[in-house]
Amino acid sequence: MRLTSRTRNGISILEPDGKLLIGIGDAVLRDAVEAELAAGRSRLILDLQKVTRIDSSGMAELVAAFSKVKDAGGVLKLLRLPPRVQSILGVTQLMSVFDVFEDEEEAVASFD
């Protein structure tokens, strides 16, 4: 899995591209979130539109990222969930944990 990051209005937008699975994308996401926090950036959006697969380990990384950011005094929100990812997060009731947006403008504005 590849991951790109950019900043908009002081908010870090992380965009993983590929599979978020055990031993494949989970460590990439973990390292990226930790790097943002280490740099003092704790307002994060995870744009998941290019995530093609997720399993329980991928979900665990999303939950861990959410908790780490929160513990650092920040907020992590999700953007553009593919149907398959939304379905899996739904059955595990994680949709109730995250703020989820379909539109980047709205997601960025929600931090104001």
Partner 1 sequence: MARQESEVRISIESRFENIELIDVVAEAALQHLGASRETAENAALAVREAVANGVLHGNRLQADRRVEVAMELFEDEVEITVTDEGQGFDPKAVPDPLAAENLLKPSGRGIFLMRTLMDHVEFSFNGSTGRGTLVRLRKRLKSADETAGAEDGG
Distance CA 34, CA 5 (A): 13
**Min dist. Cβ of residue 20 to partner 1 (A):** 12
Tell the burial category of 112 from Cβ atoms under 10 Å away from its Cβ (0-12, 13-18, 19+): exposed
| C-beta of 71 vs 103, nearer to partner 1 | 71
Alpha-carbon dihedral 52, 91, 44, 82, rounded to 10 degrees: 30
| C-beta of 66 vs 101, nearer to partner 1 | 66
CA-CA distances (angstroms) from residue 87 to 76, 83, 84? Answer: 20, 6, 5
Residues that bind partner 1 (CB under 8 A): 21-24, 55-57, 59-61, 63-64, 66-67, 84, 88, 91-94, 96-97
**Min dist. Cβ of residue 105 to partner 1 (A):** 28
**Min dist. Cβ of residue 53 to partner 1 (A):** 8
**Min dist. Cβ of residue 72 to partner 1 (A):** 15
